[in-house]
Amino acid sequence: MLGESHDLRHEFPDLEEKIASLSGSDEEFAHLMRDYDDLDTRVRKLEELGTPVTDETIEELKKERLLMKDRLYDKLRAS
């Protein structure tokens, strides 16, 4: 869906407590989560505003977002 939020709490509602805990205790996780949220916001704005951007560019941003989400999920599962 265009403009749909992909924030971690939305993506992993069952891990909300772990997300909050790691955000406060693990600086690397918190930094990665901020970067992920910033990228998600950027992608949503591009989609919602219809900003002229190539398909390749938006797909690369989405791939980057997915890789970041995978890294965050791995950290959540390891804790």
C-alpha–C-alpha distance, residues 32 and 67, integer Å: 11
- 3 within a domain of the structure (yes/no): no
- 53 within a domain of the structure (yes/no): yes
- 58 within a domain of the structure (yes/no): yes
Domain that holds residue 72: 8-78
- 1 within a domain of the structure (yes/no): no
For 4-24, the pLDDT digits (tens) are 678 888 889 999 999 999 999
- 26 within a domain of the structure (yes/no): yes
- 42 within a domain of the structure (yes/no): yes
Q: What letter would DSSP give residue 50?
A: T
For 20-52, the pLDDT digits (tens) are 999 999 999 999 999 999 999 999 888 888 778
Contact 76, 9 (CB under 8 A): no
Number of domains forming the structure of the chain:
1
Looking at residue 16, what is its pLDDT?
Answer: 94
- 32 within a domain of the structure (yes/no): yes
Contact 61, 16 (CB under 8 A): no
- 2 within a domain of the structure (yes/no): no
